[in-house]
Structure 1
Amino acid sequence: MGSLTGLLYACLAVYLGGWYLGKWTGNFSLLLFILTLVTLAYWLAERFHFAPARAKAARTLEQQDQARREELASKGIAKVDGDIAPAREALLMQPWWLDWTAGLFPVILIVFLLRSFLFEPFKIPSGSMVPTLLVGDLILVNKYHYGVRLPVINKKIIELNKPERGDVMVFRYPANPSIDYIKRVVGVPGDEVSYRNQRLYLNGQQVETTALPEFYDDDSTRYFKQYSEKLGSVEHNILVDVQRPSYIRPTDPFPYKENCSYSAEGVTCKVPAGHYFMMGDNRDNSEDSRFWGFVPDENIVGKAFFVWMNFGNLRRIGSFH
């Protein structure tokens, strides 16, 4: 069993190493699920086989020692050398391969349950959500806000809240579900969303905005036009790059692409049932639904709501809209 455990850890190290180096795409939810099952198997084996076997061996040692002492006592030898305590402890000691499998099961199970049904950490990888979220922000995602889903397969089993305009949502990128994206919900099923000449329209009405002081972006070392925008009940800030053209070049054909029309001014889309139209707050520097289409309900991961760490700027810690 020790050799088998060593082999399993070697496979895990190779998988994680290749994932880190970009040799292949990893699925952390699936990996955590597999680790939970494997450590559960070791935990059950320890509880019902290995631990009882060690306890039985320790009892046998004690019985043999007691029998030897009784035999010597019957011959008039009262003082007997030999302390079996170290040997007994050695028999009862859990081997390393059970320490690193069965011993980790409770911790891995708790992490799996928390991450699958309550909260999942997520790192902001790009500037598409600036100024709301900055590159390097470590955020928490509420996994149950939009309903309880089975881990790995992401099948919803309990319906709760529907995504609303203005929510910041993490979802699986429709073109490659192994990649998580984060954007803001702009359109819900039935909405007509237009982004023309760097202005957002919902159902024919221009979305209310208020001009704010320009925003300086450290990464691009540029100033951008900044506005306060209100979507539903959520008020948040957005950036507009006046140097970018209004024309949008969509990617390869995507589901319900016939619901969208593109022109030199921008794009207009009708959101189909069970889908959502997502946009980044950094409006002209975001690859979002304007380019690759709608996000189906089954791709939803959860609602982002809190920055729990930014190692470069601790003042970033806190909730956001």
Structure 2
Amino acid sequence: MESKEKVQEKAAPPKPKKSAFREWIDSVVFAVVAATFIRWLFFTPFTIPSSSMEKTLLVGDFLFVSNLHYGARTPVTPLQIPLTHQTIWGTSIPSFSTLIQLPMYRLPGFTHIKRNDVVVFNYPGDADEPFEDVSIGNGGYKDFPVDLRNNFIKRCVAVSGDVLEIKNAEVYINGVKAPVPPHAELYYRMESSDVLDDRFFDKENIQDYSALPPDSARTGVQRYQIRTTPEIVETLKKYDFVRSIQQIARYNASISEPGIYPAALAQNQEFYGPIQIPKKGLTITLDSVNIAKYGHVIKYFDYNDAEKVNVTKTQISIDGKPLTQYTFKQDYFFMMGDNRYESADSRFWGFVPEDHIVGKALFTWMSIDPNPKSFIHKIRWNRLFRLIE
């Protein structure tokens, strides 16, 4: 009869308990990784620092931007300190390294950029400034990879392939007058039977206004120039003393305004175009007018080696070969601020390439007034969790 021997296995030694410091480090690392992943793939928080989108977005608004709508972009610059953009917090030290640069791809989204979308994008820069040799302290967007250039927010007024024209300060897309966003600020001439003072304009939330010389042929009529929104205009029309109110242009078609894109064409911000927005697959003839409109795009943004592209007023050549036609390799968009007279946008620096698009602005979750009338008005409660239209 065989004897059975019981073999007693040694119990595994208990794992040493993590110290409180180690648990804290693990929690921080997990939180940073999770936040970085969420910011890249899902939503990115932004703050509004300027008035170019008033009154749709106000200085001090905090908003969330969806990366999912148009599809998140894969990082171009993977060697970067998490949760930073261009520099380490509170310093001028770069937060990234360009030792590794990857090609950019866009993950599938569930929609495409549409006219009237409020979009965040990386600033492509002023087409009429020299692109090379610009230091970080002087227009530094040119020294950063595409995904680390300054973030701008504007409204997309024209998508790739559209023909845009501005006449008498009104935007036309493909020959049809485009709807004006309800919070866009435009200039109007208002006639009133009463003399209006600062209290009236302040009550109506109109900050830019001035009295015009009276019309000698019409007694008892006061004239004012105001900058406000179509929404407020509808409110003003309800007053019995408001005789008329009409949108006006401050320029005429013959005026050439400095700084308008492209500089070679005589235009201004109220009389602009017509100009076709480049579209992937669109082929154009490279005459002198189209070179003025699209030469900068072809050289710097359409996936050509800029060092091999030579652009003159009458000819574009790539790798020494003169071109008579050109076919675009990606889509582009035309962006404008809702505060159209206080906005540096596509009218001044040109088209936004598709690979510069960050995401769609969804809603404001907080709004802090930088110049409140009193402490209790510091938070704009009516703007909390407000959808962006």
TM-score bracket for this pair, using the shorter chain length: 0.5 to 0.7
Deviation digits for residues 5-59 of structure 1, max 9, x if unmatched?
xxxxxxxxxxxxxxxxxxxxxxxxxxxxxxxxxxxxxxxxxxxxxxxxxx97x88
Corresponding residue for 1:310?
367
Corresponding residue for 1:249?
258
Q: Which range moved further: 277-286 or 197-206?
A: 197-206
Corresponding residue for 2:345?
288
**Distance between the aligned counterparts of 1:241 and 1:285, measured in 2?**
17
Q: Which has the higher contact order (CA 8 A, sep 6+)?
A: 2
TM-score, with length taken from structure 2 = 0.49
Corresponding residue for 1:166?
116
**Distance between the aligned counterparts of 2:342 and 2:257, measured in 1?**
11
Counterparts in 2 of 1:261 and 1:165: CA distance versus 1, 3 Å:
farther
Structure 2 portions without partners, runs of 5+: 1-11, 78-103, 126-140, 191-200, 211-225, 232-245, 280-330, 369-378
Counterparts in 2 of 1:280 and 1:145: CA distance versus 1, 3 Å:
same
Corresponding residue for 1:81?
none
CA RMSD of aligned residues (A): 3.4
Matches within 5 A, 1:225-264: 225-227=228-230, 245=251, 247-250=256-259, 257=262, 261-263=265-267
**Distance between the aligned counterparts of 1:185 and 1:313, measured in 2?**
26
Corresponding residue for 1:20?
none
Question: What number of residue pairs does the alignment pair up?
Answer: 217
SS in 2 for 1:291: helix
CA contact (8 A) 1:248 1:267 kept: no
CA contact (8 A) 2:206 2:228 kept: no
Counterparts in 2 of 1:217 and 1:124: CA distance versus 1, 3 Å:
farther
CA contact (8 A) 1:149 1:158 kept: no
Matches within 5 A, 1:115-264: 115-153=39-77, 155-175=105-125, 176=141, 177=146, 178-209=149-180, 216=205, 223-227=226-230, 245=251, 247-250=256-259, 257=262, 261-263=265-267
| Structure with higher helix content | 1
TM-score, with length taken from structure 1 = 0.58
**Distance between the aligned counterparts of 1:123 and 1:248, measured in 2?**
31
Structure 1 portions without partners, runs of 5+: 1-54, 60-90, 229-239
SS in 1 for 2:116: coil
SS in 1 for 2:108: strand
Deviation digits for residues 178-217 of structure 1, max 9, x if unmatched?
2000000001111111223311111122224589998635
Corresponding residue for 1:267?
272
1:109 aligns with 2:33: yes
Q: Which range moved further: 300-309 or 144-153?
A: 144-153
Deviation at 1:99, TM superposition (A): 4.6
Counterparts in 2 of 1:221 and 1:206: CA distance versus 1, 3 Å:
closer
CA contact (8 A) 1:249 1:291 kept: no
**Distance between the aligned counterparts of 2:65 and 2:72, measured in 1?**
13
SS in 2 for 1:156: coil
